[in-house]
Structure 1
Amino acid sequence: MAADLAALRNYVTAKDSEEHARLPAHVVSLNITHSNLAQTHMEIRFDRSSSVAEVKQRLHQHCGTPQQYQRLILRSGGTDYAFLDDDTRMLGYYSPEHGMELHVIDLDPHSLSKGGGLEDTSMIEKYRMTEEAYDKREGTLRDWVRKKKAANPDWMPEWEQKSGPRTVDPIDLSEECMKGLELGQRCEVDPGGRRGVLEYLGKVDGLADGYWAGVRFDEPVGKGDGTVKGQRIFDCEARYGGFIRPRNVRCGDFPERDLLEDSDEDEL
């Protein structure tokens, strides 16, 4: 495990000019594109000694186009470099280099991916039930609630009972809850030991009464982007922001975690 993580670290942190330096000489890393698909399969590794037919077999797994309906073009910088029209030749015959684009042209007249068929969900016919039809169905949640209320007019489902206003802890109403916190400082947030930078301290219109701490997290572990009901409080990307009660925030020496760092080198 430690060796695998070390290899991953070296690959991720390598400079652009060195990212393929550790690959064996017989391996080439190519980016796969498809005439019917918007998706690009990045850095797929191929053996230079593989025949074009074998390459097409692998591409079938990635793109879905059967081997007999593929036409392959090797591209460099957006320019056609070579046409891989001979299935018996080895891939290395066409002198591919790391980072080149291997483009698949789908010649299948009945291809499911044609016209965005595998990516455009708006083309899929979806089943929709009218309110009237759902209201008449038995065994649904709505039917269950209706029967419970018919038997006991005072009965309320649990989610309606919990929808009332929440009480605010008196601690959150006092400025003392922000003691020891400073804007721009590194911090750690409970629960979960999430880390980031403290971007805001104070009350927030649209949230419950009391004081709030706005945190820009190092990772996408938040619930927002620094806005509350359309009002921007601080800047961050989606899911990198959160508003937390100050009593759950600690400022101090909390550096950004290295996700590739081995937690236990002795663990097998």
Structure 2
Amino acid sequence: MATGDDMVEFTIKSNIVPSEAIRRFKRSAQIGELKNQLELITGAQSQSMKIHVHDERGTKLFDLDDDSRTLGSYNVQSKMILQIEETNLKRAHMFDDTGDVPKYELTAEEYESRKNTARQFMVDHKIGKYNPAAQEERERKEKEKEEHEQQAASKINVNDRCEVAVTSQPTKRGTVMFKGEVHFKPGVWVGVRYDEPLGKNNGSAEGKKYFECPDKYGVFVRPSSVTVGEFPELDLEEL
């Protein structure tokens, strides 16, 4: 078994990968053997590899340039840095671009004809969308939810004063500026201009304008979050 005096510890760096590694090597190892080990660590090819030795501050000291010599025959000490240089970078990165590699793809018909696929397992065990009863229940709940939103929307009109109550957020006051369908989500939505800059937009969403208001005063919420009524603007003492 190698003792501490027989081993030397280096920080390994390379011009191929940005990460560093710390490894210990036998002083009795030949430089050729060391290169083979460093190839596994850095990806640099042993036959096109240069090993530069630096001190802890990064100052270059010398090269390990004789494959027949042992590591211990050089004046190496623990905590030094081995800077590994791959001199043939084109070869080192030859497999980085896989754009021209042919890809194996199945058509929908070929996939359907196969047995023991993930889809077939889900169909056989009625999981997720392949469970008709569960799917019908989800659709029923979604329909009920949207009907509830439509009922709430019927009580809201543009220019109404309102309070907006969204889960985990304080209640805010403002004016209804928009009611209707939007392009970014299904269902009916309400656009509100807050009295204070507590919103998320200026009445626009994904580049489309729905109503006018200053930036950070606008918000889009579901009708169920909006209560209309006599809600005057709050004084500073009431905020």
TM-score, scaled to structure 1: 0.38
Bigger-Rg structure (1/2): 2
